[in-house]
Amino acid sequence: MASSGPSHFEKILANFKKRLSSEHTELFQLTTLDDLKASIKRIQTEQAAKKGLRNLNKIKPFLNGLRQYAEVLEVFVQAKPEILAFIWGPIKLCLQIASKLNEAFDALLDAYEKIGNSLPILSTVDALFCSHPHVKQVLANIFEDILDFHKRAIVFFKHGTWRLTFKLTYHTFSDMFRDILTKLDRSQDLILQSANVAHFQESQDARILFTKQMEVLLEAERNQRKKAVIDWLSSDSSSTTQHQELGQIRNMLPQTTRWIFSQPQMLSWLKRTEYTPCTFWLCGIPGAGKTVIFSSVVDEIGATLPNAQAVYFYCKNKDPLRSHFTDIIKSLISQILQLNPNCLDFIYESMLSYSERRATDASKLLQILEQILSSHDSLYIGIDGLDECSEQERKLLSNLITAVSRANDAQGNVQLIVTSRQEKDLERSLKSAVKFNIREKNLESDITAYITCKMTELCQIFHFTQERKQLITKEICTRPKDIFLLARLIMHNLLSQDSLEDLNEELKFEVLPHGIEEAYGRMLVRIGKAGSSSPNQMEKRRQRAKLVLTLVTTSHRALYKHEIQGALAINLEEQNVDFENRHSRFPLDDLCGPIIQVRQNGIVDLIHPTAKDYLWQYHSGHYIVSSGAEEFMATLCTSYLTFDFLSPGLAGDLFAARVMNGDFAFQEYAACNWFKHLKSLFSNT
């Protein structure tokens, strides 16, 4: 059997210290039993003054058992005073913290009472028996179990959510130490029964096995709880994907957006300067680059503020998963849970108390968010594109701003950054925020850097001379002014040209766009030209591109590229899907040009929200007529759902073949959204 002398106790203590802060280590190492008793007396006096005395008699068996245990250690193990100090010190700390909340104090007293009942009464045991090596091992096990309980308790009380957990339930705390009680009971039986060496060894092996089994069980229970919470929240992950893509874009031009961090308003907000409001409002006209700047701020927080954490959300107009207040709150809660797993118990208990299969109640979700904000020392919340949400949803966001302000007033630990256009309702909601309006002078260097970078790519394709490169760069830089998007649209269009002749046409002074509408117009001119060798092919390609743009702009949620390809393969006249012969052989962003983009997760999206406005308005000659588009989508969805192969009873092998052929690619969207298109159609007529 391994040695169980002082070195073994010191090893257990060293392992315990690894989980402690230096402050707690220093606090515990000089604590005595008399210090603990004095602290208990002070707590009683304070509770009596508040007329809130608790039943401290519950702790007497625990303290008596530990006193006997400490005496045995001093005599038979020659334990150093430091070892005993780390028995009394954690008890003192836990009682002091828990005394701030009656429910927590009662739960801790209950725990100590149960542990006290499981401690062996060493005063009745033969002194000679206590000196046996295998008994010393049991004494070391008891020491390990007591420290293990306090290790868990200290971690529990360390995080701000412990108060919230006790308000909901006791059992989360009691669940933490049920395995410790089992191990203490076994140690008690061994000592009281004066077991032989073989029995001790068998019990020690069983203890090791039990500890491993409990670790696996507790981890499985925690994972099950986490899975239940994640399923309940069902938050969308598109914001994470978009943030990663924006980071990759900025990495190509790392010097861009850096100007924002030299602005006094931003510096004061990041550093939480005294008297600086906790909310920062970054506003600007459409296409000013607010979203890219926002992503830069989020990353800057993680890179330069070592103790800070950031959660964020990118709103998207008419996306059912990214344009509602509940979507924002659910995503923020999910991200906070990932950053701080100690929030799990509170969120889980809240979920059970609300009895909802899915989280849909905005007010309850906001309550959860406001409560868990207290569990962070420094948290930054970011919401991009508030103007992408409806005015009704934006009204609810004022409640979030209020919640953040309350949390910040209480602890000074939460900051909020939002971006949007200047809207009157947002002006009212954000009247107390630090407001920064993006100006032309802020974007000049970023626009020039972007155009210069893209001109290098253009020169590699068309082999310009350095002189012509400089002339073109200079001319293009005069166009965007304070609209970064315009620079992006111009360069995307130029890079998509097939020949030098086409490029020269686009570079003519009277053709090169002066505004966003003109830039979108040039993109529409290009559609159908690329890769087409005859007028007939050009027209067919143009019609297919128009169909894709109709799908993208009219859909009630973001579409994936396989869904769009599935829609292209539908033949309404013949009532079938011919994926092999009808899907586009060209990538969708080649078919439609730079007006659309295919994201990393397969979602097909417009290059910017303003593109939809252009396609639906008179500037484009009503390229897409909204009423006609809704009628087409309603017809497409309802007709597709009546196709024979979607009827019940399709044989298994035929079903598998249909799946592999792509016949079901559009099914999920059509089944979930046909009624929405009909409703939109009727509301417009």
pLDDT score at 164: 66
8 Å CB contact between 662 and 579: yes
SS3 for 303-368, per residue?
Answer: HHCCCCEEEEEECCCCCCCCCCHHHHHHHHHHHHHHHCHHHHHHHHHHHHHHCCCCCCCHHHHHHH
- Condensed to tens digits (0 to 9), the pLDDT of residues 50-98 reads 777 777 788 888 888 888 888 877 776 666 778 889 999 999 999 998 8
pLDDT score at 642: 92
**CA–CA dist 265, 439 (Å, integer):** 14
* Band of residue 167 on the pLDDT scale cut at 50, 70, 90: low
What's the alpha-carbon Rg for the chain, to the nearest Å?
34
**In the chain, where are the structural domains located?**
6-230, 238-438, 455-526, 535-683
Higher pLDDT, 393 or 409: 393
- pLDDT above 50: residue 3: no
**CA–CA dist 191, 375 (Å, integer):** 43
* Band of residue 131 on the pLDDT scale cut at 50, 70, 90: low
- pLDDT above 50: residue 554: yes
- Condensed to tens digits (0 to 9), the pLDDT of residues 571-620 reads 999 999 998 888 888 889 888 888 999 988 899 999 998 898 888 886 66
- pLDDT above 60: residue 127: no
The structure's pTM equals 0.79
* Band of residue 193 on the pLDDT scale cut at 50, 70, 90: low
Which long-range CB contacts under 8 A does 567-572 form with residues at least 24 apart? 567/636, 567/665, 567/666, 568/544, 569/662, 569/665, 570/636, 570/640, 570/666, 572/635, 572/636, 572/639, 572/640
User: Which candidate, 147, 116, 168, places its Cα nearest to that of 16?
Assistant: 147
Least confident of 293-302, 508-517, 533-542: 533-542
- pLDDT above 80: residue 531: no
pLDDT score at 171: 58
What's the mean pLDDT when you consider all of the chain? Answer: 86
What are the two backbone dihedrals, phi and then psi, of residue 378, each rounded to the nearest 5 degrees? Answer: -155, 110
* Band of residue 685 on the pLDDT scale cut at 50, 70, 90: low
pLDDT score at 29: 87
pLDDT score at 2: 44
Number of neighbours of residue 132 by Cβ within 10 angstroms: 16
Question: Domain 238-438 has what CATH class?
Answer: alpha beta
8 Å CB contact between 159 and 374: no
Q: Please provide the distance, in angstroms rounded to a whole number, between the alpha carbons at the two ends of the chain.
A: 87
8 Å CB contact between 541 and 532: yes
b/e 390-422 (16+ beta carbons within 10 angstroms → b): eeebbebbebbbebbbebbeeeebbbbbbbbee
- Condensed to tens digits (0 to 9), the pLDDT of residues 335-347 reads 999 998 888 888 9
Percentages of the chain per state (helix, strand, coil), in multiples of 5: 70, 5, 25
- Condensed to tens digits (0 to 9), the pLDDT of residues 347-375 reads 988 898 887 888 989 999 998 998 888 77
